[in-house]
Structure 1
Amino acid sequence: MLSATRPAAVLFDMDGTLVDSEKIWGVALEDLAVRAGGRLSTRARLAMVGTSMPASMALFREDLGQPDRPYAEDVAWLTERVADLFAGGLAWRPGARELLLGVRAAGVPAALVTSTERRLAEVALKTLGAENFDVVVCGDEVRAQKPDPEPYRTAAALLGVPIRDCVAIEDSPSGVTSAVAAGAVVLAVPSDVALPSVAGVHVRSSLVGVDLEVLAGLR
């Protein structure tokens, strides 16, 4: 149960939640599709949002009708392309920077919980500020990625707080499923894809106006 004044910790997703990086992933994936001699459909791209790299590449191969494409080669090329685009700077989602800085200023523990691999997360942290997070859990550092609950449970364990007393902030169906299964209080802020109605999940159109008082009021 959250305290009356603040959660034990705030667990932030990255892509589409804190920064508007899903569009960058979209550009890189479209570039990879062209390189492969095809074109990525909007349906497939939206299905990839919030998923792990293996899941995204499976959707990519299926969409292009190229089931035998070399996974490692595609991932290496995509990672380099995204890293280049990330290095140009990332745009914050509305209200996200203010909330993150408010959490940090209040001394509430914060974690970044992302399906993105560590190498790319480190580039994104140049925008986000590594100093704003006590813990960073990346997709290549857990055995099971979102929608499995392991990433969020790992973040709470590393922070030394009960997951039930944490608020997780997410934008994708995969991320929401992960956070709910982990046992966190969940605030969902849809970005590029619509979210299904999930019992107990709080939904807002943006993080504008969200502060620790708002988070503490979630149950």
Structure 2
Amino acid sequence: MAFGARSFRYALRRLALSSRQPAAVLFDMDGTLVDSEKVWDIALYELATHAGGTLSESARLAMIGSAMATTMRILRDDLGQPDRDEAADVAWLEHRVEELFADGLIWRPGALELLLAVRAAGLPTALVTSTGRRLVEVALNTLGRENFDVIVCGDEVSAPKPDPAPYRRAADLLGVKIAECVAIEDSLTGMTSALASGAAVLAIPAELELPPTTGVHLRDTLVGVDPAFLGTLFTEIPA
């Protein structure tokens, strides 16, 4: 028979995995749920102009997914202004981004549908972002506060991404094991954080290409992703 014992066992394993669901789904924000990196583009280039310089493309790309302190260090280095007042620059930048966020944010393809499907399935959710609380509160007007059981912001953790602390904190707050969670990311910094935390990682590149990485599942888009698909990410099935 073409459909032998091995094929039958394989089919059973596929069925078991497809019916499994994660203990929680941990979502990055910028570039993953919403197309907000373009908003940061505007504000960061304007800040560089305000400082009397021009932000290089390579410096801007290096900022993607990073914490505010790292972004400000890259800005100072790129402008050749090591003595700039970081606090003043952060205040200027956050005020400008807040204005832009208030106009509403654009969902990434498939992101809203996945978030609603995860909520409908009764799975706990967390928003795990490098963005500070002040701006996250504005973004939640688009994202919906009711869509997240916990929120971990970049200015509320002991160490920001790429450290695993943000994702581990999210799992602790939810009362679940991080190894039973799926983290969804778009940047190398976030992907590194999620992978180091022990979560299963789904990466959807936004502004930058992501390298194939052991333990990370790459897709072009969240379109078509649902809770059943997320359940298949925990175990690789041999042929």
Q: What TM-score bracket applies, with the shorter chain setting the length?
A: over 0.9
Q: Distance in 1 between matches of 2:223 and 2:54?
A: 36
Structure 1 unaligned residues grouped into runs of 5+:
none
**Displacement of 1:198 after TM fit?**
1.3
Identical positions, percent = 67
Q: Distance in 2 between matches of 1:66 and 1:193?
A: 27
* Aligned partner of residue 112 in structure 1, secondary structure: strand
* Aligned partner of residue 167 in structure 1, secondary structure: strand
**Displacement of 1:3 after TM fit?**
8.2
Asked if residue 54 in structure 1 is aligned to residue 54 in structure 2, the reply is no
**What does residue 212 of structure 1 align with?**
227
- Of 176, 179, 190 in structure 1, the residue corresponding to residue 194 of structure 2 is 179
- Of 96, 101, 104 in structure 1, the residue corresponding to residue 111 of structure 2 is 96
- Give me the TM-score of the superposition, normalised by structure 1: 0.98
Larger Rg: 2
Equivalent residue letter for 1:76:
A
Q: Distance in 2 between matches of 1:185 and 1:21?
A: 24
Q: Distance in 1 between matches of 2:153 and 2:175?
A: 18
Asked if residue 116 in structure 1 is aligned to residue 147 in structure 2, the reply is no
Asked if residue 199 in structure 1 is aligned to residue 211 in structure 2, the reply is no
Equivalent residue letter for 1:72:
A
- Give me the TM-score of the superposition, normalised by structure 2: 0.90
Which runs of structure 1 show a deviation greater than 4 angstroms over 4 or more consecutive aligned residues? none
Q: CA RMSD in A?
A: 1.0
Q: Distance in 2 between matches of 1:5 and 1:179?
A: 20
**What does residue 6 of structure 2 align with?**
none
* Aligned partner of residue 210 in structure 1, secondary structure: coil
**Displacement of 1:197 after TM fit?**
2.0
Q: Distance in 2 between matches of 1:61 and 1:23?
A: 21
* Aligned partner of residue 187 in structure 1, secondary structure: strand
| CA offsets 1:140-190 (integer angstroms, 9 cap, x no match) | 110100000000000000000000000000000010000000000000000
**Displacement of 1:195 after TM fit?**
1.2
Query: Relative contact order, CA 8 A, sep 6+: which one is greater?
Result: 1
- Of 90, 97, 107 in structure 2, the residue corresponding to residue 75 of structure 1 is 90
Contact residue 18 and residue 228 of structure 2 kept, 8 A: no
Contact residue 18 and residue 229 of structure 2 kept, 8 A: no
